[in-house]
Amino acid sequence: MRGAVARPAVRCRRDVDGWGSLTGYARGMLAMCLCGIAALDEQPEPLRPTQRERPEPRAGQVLVEVSVCGVCRTELDILEGRTPPPRLPVVPGHQIVGRVVALGDGVAAHRVGDRVGIGWLWDAHGERENLDPDFVATGRDVDGGYAQFVTAPANSAFAIPEVFSDAEAAPLLCAGAVGYRALSACGLVDGEPLGLTGFGASAHLVLQMARHRYPRSPVFVFARSAAEREFARGLGAAWAGDTSERPPTPPAAIIDTTPAWKPVVAAMAALRPGGRLVINAIRKDDRDKQELLQLDYGRHLWHEREIRSVANVTRADIRDCLALAAAVPLRPEVALYPLAEANRALNDLARGGGRGAKVLVVR
């Protein structure tokens, strides 16, 4: 079991057998709903196809017809209870790209027909939005993008650069934006080596960002999978090896995008004196938590090595990530799944391997 906190399933409204069941339901939509909390290996099909009322935008909101929605590891944390939703059922999904089809009162920043993206930040306030105690997350605290329609505050819907297709843009809204925040948190100086441990949706975008922002900095990738290491080399990594191997030069900073603890301990040993580990994960899995017992002060922490986490994103992170991605331009690698196969996409993500990001095609 993956550390899930089991919660009894509730019945989703209007469970349906397939997408054809909505014929004639003009004001409705289909969604993949999470109706209970359980470990994925115990409940491999946690999402149910469900017929729901189409949402209406309130004042200050937009209604978006969803084209695609990225699949994020945070969805595993939600459905397994490490960062559980406040209510069930809920529609997951927070890497949403679509078109504005209706405006709530007072919306001037968007027009009907605009192509927009919605990320993890649905609503937050204050100078440090990502640390707002009342942070509202798309697809956890409110319904997200595993559905045909979704609403969001107008200031949390972002114009998508024309250089990207809908599917390419989706992972930029979370994997890219939180990766951008993690890269900024490294405090890297051009020419200093950067390490990436784990090489999935976020890291394959961060590698491209790093090569653009720090052209003289070699990027070293730690990954268990030989296929991921080959993928990293193809994107310009100067070195790629297993989690336990050592790169040619100790990195000044390492970004960890894994759900596990073993890479954290290995990364601390690989850092140069004064180096920084930035953990880019909303939660860690407890299955290998005993690896923390291997931490040795002299080997892993002394010489002013430090650990920093990245929590959520801000609107500026998403906006700046999209601008940087268009300037490079980044080339997100995506694997496409029909919305009806969201459970398969989640299971593929949990198993690991593959290249880049997974994206659900809704329309």
Percent of the chain whose pLDDT exceeds 70: 93
Any domain includes 322: no
Cis check for the bond before 49: say yes or no (omega within 30 of 0): no
Verify that 188 and 286 share a domain, yes or no: yes
pLDDT at 353: 74
Using DSSP's 3-state secondary structure scheme, residue 179 falls into: helix
Token couple for 67 = 């084209």
Verify that 277 and 190 share a domain, yes or no: yes
pLDDT at 10: 55
Q: Are 31 and 15 in contact (CB under 8 A)?
A: no
Any domain includes 293: yes
Verify that 236 and 339 share a domain, yes or no: no
Token couple for 51 = 């017929």
Q: Which residue has the higher pLDDT, 9 or 338?
A: 338
Verify that 254 and 352 share a domain, yes or no: no
CA nearest neighbour of 120 among 79, 176, 168 = 176
Verify that 182 and 133 share a domain, yes or no: no
DSSP code of residue 12 = P
Any domain includes 45: yes
How far is Cα 310 from Cα 181, in angstroms, rounded to an integer? 7
Verify that 263 and 293 share a domain, yes or no: yes
Any domain includes 200: yes
Cis check for the bond before 57: say yes or no (omega within 30 of 0): no
* Helical axes 175-185 vs 201-213, angle rounded to 10°: 50
Any domain includes 58: yes
Verify that 149 and 195 share a domain, yes or no: no
Q: What is the CATH number of the domain that holds 285?
A: 3.40.50.720
The answer, yes or no, to whether residue 8 has pLDDT greater than 70, is no
Report pLDDT digits (tens) over 224-274.
999 999 999 999 999 999 999 999 999 999 999 999 999 999 999 999 999
Verify that 116 and 225 share a domain, yes or no: no
Any domain includes 279: yes
Rounded to 5°, the CA angle 84-90-95 comes to: 85
Q: Are 62 and 103 in contact (CB under 8 A)?
A: yes
Any domain includes 131: yes
Which residues span the domain enclosing 302? 177-309
Verify that 291 and 194 share a domain, yes or no: yes
The average confidence (pLDDT) of the chain is 93
Verify that 185 and 249 share a domain, yes or no: yes
Phi, psi values for residue 347, rounded to 5°: -65, -40
Verify that 97 and 196 share a domain, yes or no: no
pLDDT at 9: 54
Q: Predicted confidence band at 23 (pLDDT cuts at 50, 70, 90)?
A: very low
pLDDT at 12: 60
pLDDT at 5: 46
How many domains does one find in the chain?
2
How far is Cα 173 from Cα 63, in angstroms, rounded to an integer? 18
Any domain includes 241: yes
Q: Please classify residue 261 by burial: count the beta carbons closer than 10 Å to its beta carbon, then call 0-12 exposed, 13-18 middle and 19+ buried.
A: buried
**DSSP output for 75-132:** HHHHHTTSS--SSSSB-----EEEEEEEE-TT--S--TT-EEEE-SEEE--SSSGGG-
